[in-house]
């Protein structure tokens, strides 16, 4: 007979069994969460003023991000 420690170390029991049980539980939980999240996001999007947005480019991998952010902030200050 296997001891409790041996059962804890068994990878099939530790990782395999929960994976088999997860999809059914996850589907129930995600269905409820997703509908709530979508409704909340829709309400947020209704309140956003889409006429006054500005597309701002992020730094490239070879650019210094702090320096680039400072340049962007100074340009925004001049534009206003």
Question: Residue 3 is part of which domain span?
Answer: 1-47
Whole-prediction pTM value? Answer: 0.29
Instruction: Note whether residue 78 is domain-resident.
Output: no
The span from the CA of 71 to the CA of 33, in Å, is 40
Instruction: Note whether residue 59 is domain-resident.
Output: no
- pLDDT tens digits along 6-27: 777 887 777 777 777 777 766 7
The span from the CA of 6 to the CA of 15, in Å, is 14
Kindly state the tokens that stand for 46: 């209704």
Instruction: Note whether residue 35 is domain-resident.
Output: yes
Look at 79 and 71; give whichever has higher pLDDT: 71
Instruction: Note whether residue 74 is domain-resident.
Output: no
Instruction: Note whether residue 69 is domain-resident.
Output: no
């Amino acid at each position: 007979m296997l001891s409790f420690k041996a059962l804890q170390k068994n990878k099939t029991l530790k990782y395999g069994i929960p994976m088999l049980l997860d999809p059914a539980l996850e589907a129930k939980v995600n269905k409820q969460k997703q509908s709530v999240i979508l409704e909340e996001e829709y309400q947020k999007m209704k309140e956003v003023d889409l006429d006054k947005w500005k597309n701002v480019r992020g730094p490239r991998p070879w650019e210094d991000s702090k320096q680039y952010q400072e340049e962007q902030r100074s340009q925004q200050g001049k534009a206003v």
